[in-house]
């Protein structure tokens, strides 16, 4: 989906359309007061004070009609530059604009744009005439606190988008519709994959049997891969003493993202937000020689983070998550090779899942934010330059983003876009010189001296939660065979004549660990066939007279109209091959 802000022409057009919206609202609601109307990735919005009135969809239609009328009139848009004093005078009845004007530094030029009977304070630039804004769509309206502060008044935020041509607008609206259809929350409900409940709370999802099956397969898949690459998996507790996080530095730099402490008698416990501290202790538990390194400790590990209730989103952003986590303890001379191995593992996994739309991001600290990031310039510079060097040498394209690092070090994040346009991190690989210091980790080097290892934190699938959200949106719920909750659905044409043989087929497949369902409901064949498709089951087997008499099966692949016939043996062989290859 296009990011409107990244296209100069579309930015100007959408910003002009926000003014057109404000003008129409002013016509229909003369008492309306306007706050700001910026361009966003999805188009534009305008925050409007309607004195407590909540706009309905019918209102949006009326506003839209008025906008069309104004656009048709085709008034020119004029720019005017005025002094602060004149601006204060001109907008004296509009407290929000006065607020903006007062924030202008003395002496700076203030510009206004006028179209017909409407003038708005604006830096510009704008298109020449309101006529250019005629291909727009108002998308929705929502409440938004003035200045984003929940102590303030709720304003009406109207969202819209504008294009140069009707065709471009329609194409964009089609994409939006498709994105809505792909939203993992919608598909998750339709396919019974996961659910939330208000009695459990925001950001706390329950994986239903279908979703749990997919997750179990993902867990097996990634664990097998990691074991082959020399990882050792552990289990560690989800709780720890607050002291652990004081040692690690989480207490100073990550406390706001954690659930509050549980105080019992003279103990203080906390739910862990990350697994690194536990893994540091596992490393420290034994003496290590330089020859033992790298040591790779992996865990499929539940973590708890106090995400804002407004920010949680289906499985994409949750408060309890399960990381596909590992910490690699390496010698400084092994950083390059181990980071490369992690990057290659990411690329290998992406190939298996056919993930092609992603970007590598080098996430750096914000030097001025000493609260969020551990304060040691030298350590940061070393870690950042090491990671940058490895990436450059690997020939990986990446962009840099300040303020996105972990508190303990810079990260190489893989960014993807969700269906509804969220930019989120899927995989991550992080370089850390700090935690080995804080936990006083050592190994014995080739000269028999104590030396400090470096830690690489990495999560390939990220969390199973977020990966599942991504996978649902990528596949639209039509999982590959090896992941499908139900792999084969058997439909007897007529229960009276074909059920017995159908049951036999089911038992045979089930005994070979194929996930199979027998649809023996007294419904029409066509209904059951449609139902099988809507549940996105990869193979639908049909058992009728021919199949029963010849002792074979006929099947239809998801999304196909043709039916193939095979002996049960051949069918099984084909399934095994496809499952094994995880194609």
Task: Work out how close the CB of 401 gets to Zn ion at its nearest, in angstroms, rounded to a whole number.
Answer: 19
Residue nearer to Zn ion on the CB measure, 463 or 487: 463
- 172-180, 252-260, 455-463, 519-527 -> range binding Zn ion (CB under 5 A): 455-463
CB atoms within 10 A of CB 108: 8
In 248-379, beta strands by DSSP E: 262-264, 267-271, 295-304, 320-330, 359-364
The Cβ of residue 453 has, within 10 Å, a number of other Cβ atoms equal to 23
Q: What 3-state class would DSSP assign to 46?
A: strand
Q: Tell me the three state secondary structure of residue 567.
A: strand
CB of 455 to Zn ion, least distance (A): 8
327 is catalytic: yes
Whether residue 481 contacts residue 538, with contact meaning beta carbons closer than 8 Å, is answered with: yes
Annotated catalytic residue 422: no
Positions touching ligand TSB (CB under 6 A) are 274, 276, 305, 307, 317-318, 321, 323, 325, 327, 425-426, 428, 457-459, 462-463, 465-466
- Dist CA 181 CA 189 (whole Å): 12
Q: How many whole angstroms separate alpha carbon 94 and alpha carbon 481?
A: 61
| Rounded least distance, CB 99 to ligand TSB, Å | 34
Q: Is 284 a catalytic residue?
A: no
Per DSSP, the chain holds a count of helices (H) and strands (E) of 18, 28
Q: Which of 294, 340, 300, 327 is nearest to 435 (CA)?
A: 327
Q: Which is nearer to Zn ion, 305 or 457 (CB)?
A: 457
- In the complex, least distance from residue 277 CB atom to Zn ion, rounded to whole angstroms: 9
- Cβ proximity to ligand TSB: between 17 and 315 the closer is 315
Can 276 be counted among the known catalytic residues? yes
Question: Quick one: 276 or 300, whose CB is closer to ligand TSB?
Answer: 276
Q: Which of 250, 279, 457, 548 is catalytic?
A: 457
Please say whether the beta carbons of 575 and 488 come within 8 A: yes
| Active-site annotation holder among 305, 319, 535, 556 | 305
* Dihedral sign for Cα atoms in the order 226, 232, 235, 236: negative
Verify whether residue 530 is a known catalytic residue.
no
Please state the closest distance from residue 307 (CB atom) to Zn ion, in A. 18
From the list Zn ion, ligand TSB, none, pick the one residue 215 interacts with, judged by a Cβ distance below 5 to 8 Å according to partner type.
none
| Closer residue to ligand TSB, CB minimum distance, 213 or 323 | 323
Residue 462: name its binding partner from ligand TSB, Zn ion, none (Cβ under 5 to 8 Å by kind): ligand TSB
Considering only residues 248 to 287 of the shown chain, the ones binding Zn ion according to CB under 5 A are 276
Q: Annotated catalytic residue: which of 17, 133, 162, 276? A: 276
Please report how close the Cβ of residue 316 comes to ligand TSB at its closest, in angstroms.
7
**Candidates 15, 185, 411, 535; catalytic one:** 411
Cβ distance to ligand TSB smaller for residue 176 or 456: 456
Residue 426, contacted partner among ligand TSB, Zn ion, none, CB below 5-8 A by kind: ligand TSB
Q: Which of 15, 272, 278, 457 binds Zn ion (CB under 5 A)?
A: 457
Tokens 């139902």 appear where? 531
411 assigned to active site:
yes
Task: Supply the DSSP string of 129-178, one letter for each residue.
Answer: BGGGG-SEEEEEEEEEEGGG-TTSPEEEEEEEEE-SSHHHHHHHHHHHHH
H/E segment holding residue 466: helix 464-475
Q: Among residues 160 and 211, whose Cβ is nearest to ligand TSB?
A: 211
- The catalytic residue among 215, 327, 536, 556 is 327
Q: Which does 318 bind (CB under 5 to 8 A by kind): ligand TSB, Zn ion, none?
A: ligand TSB
Q: Clarify whether 323 is annotated catalytic.
A: yes
Q: What are the E-state strand segments in 331-396?
A: 359-364
| 23 touches, from Zn ion, ligand TSB, none (C-beta below 5 to 8 Å by class) | none
**Among 299, 289, 234, 216, which Cα is nearest to 483's?**
216
Q: Give the C-alpha distances (Å, rounded to integers) separating 528 from 495, 497, 502, 541.
A: 12, 17, 15, 11
Q: Using CB under 5 A as the criterion, which residues of the chain lie in contact with Zn ion when the complex forms?
A: 276, 457
- Point out the residues that are catalytic: 276, 305, 323, 325, 327, 411, 457
């Amino acid at each position: 989906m296009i990011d409107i802000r990244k296209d100069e022409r579309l930015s100007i057009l959408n910003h002009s359309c926000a003014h057109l919206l404000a003008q129409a609202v002013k016509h229909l609601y003369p008492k309306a007061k306007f706050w700001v109307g910026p361009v966003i990735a999805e188009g534009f919005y305008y925050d409007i004070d309607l004195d407590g009135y909540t706009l309905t969809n019918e209102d949006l239609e009326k506003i839209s009609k008025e906008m069309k009328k104004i656009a048709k009139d085709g008034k020119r848009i004029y720019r005017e530059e005025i002094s602060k004093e004149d601006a204060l005078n001109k907008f004296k009845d509009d407290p929000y604009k006065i607020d903006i004007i007062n924030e202008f530094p003395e002496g700076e030029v203030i510009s206004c744009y006028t179209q017909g009977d409407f003038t708005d304070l604006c830096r510009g630039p704008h298109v020449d005439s309101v006529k250019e804004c005629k291909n727009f769509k108002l998308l929705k309206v929502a409440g938004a606190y003035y200045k984003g502060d929940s102590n303030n008044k709720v304003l009406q935020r109207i969202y819209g988008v504008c294009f140069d041509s009707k065709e471009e607008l329609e194409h964009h609206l089609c994409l939006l519709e498709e994105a809505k259809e792909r939203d993992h929350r919608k598909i998750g409900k339709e396919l019974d994959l996961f659910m939330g409940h208000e009695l459990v709370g925001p950001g706390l999802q329950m994986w239903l049997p279908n979703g749990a099956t997919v997750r179990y397969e993902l867990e097996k898949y990634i664990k097998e891969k990691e074991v082959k690459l020399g990882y050792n998996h552990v289990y560690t507790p989800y709780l720890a003493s607050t002291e652990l996080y004081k040692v690690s530095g989480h207490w100073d730099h990550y406390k706001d993202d954690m659930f509050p402490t549980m105080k019992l008698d003279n103990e203080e416990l906390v739910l862990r937000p990350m697994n690194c501290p536990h893994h540091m202790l596992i490393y420290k538990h034994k003496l290590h020689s330089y020859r033992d390194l790298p040591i790779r400790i992996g865990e499929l590990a539940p973590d708890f983070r106090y995400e804002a209730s407004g920010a949680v989103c289906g499985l994409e952003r949750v408060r309890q998550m399960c990381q596909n986590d590992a910490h690699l303890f390496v010698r400084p001379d092994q950083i390059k090779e181990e980071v490369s191995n992690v990057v290659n593992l990411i690329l290998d996994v992406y190939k298996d899942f056919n993930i092609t739309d992603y970007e590598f991001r080098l996430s750096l600290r914000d030097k001025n934010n000493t609260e969020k990031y551990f304060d040691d310039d030298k350590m940061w510079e070393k870690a950042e330059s090491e990671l940058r060097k490895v990436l450059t040498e690997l020939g990986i394209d990446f962009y840099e983003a300040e303020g996105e690092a972990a508190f303990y070090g810079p990260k190489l994040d893989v960014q993807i876009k969700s269906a509804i346009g969220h930019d989120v991190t899927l995989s991550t690989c992080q370089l850390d010189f700090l935690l080995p210091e804080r936990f006083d980790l050592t190994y014995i080097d080739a000269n028999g001296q104590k030396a400090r290892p470096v830690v690489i934190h990495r999560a390939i699938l990220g969390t199973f939660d977020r990966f599942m959200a991504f996978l649902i949106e990528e596949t639209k719920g039509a999982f590959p065979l090896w992941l499908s909750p139900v792999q084969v659905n058997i439909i007897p044409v007529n229960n009276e004549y074909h059920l017995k043989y159908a049951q036999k087929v089911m038992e045979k497949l089930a005994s070979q660990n194929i996930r199979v369902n027998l649809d023996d409901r007294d419904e029409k064949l066509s209904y059951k066939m449609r139902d099988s498709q809507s549940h996105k089951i990869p193979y639908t087997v049909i058992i009728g007279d021919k199949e029963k008499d010849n002792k074979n099966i006929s099947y239809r692949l998801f999304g196909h109209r043709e039916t193939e016939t095979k002996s049960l043996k051949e069918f099984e062989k084909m399934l095994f091959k496809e499952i094994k290859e995880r194609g």
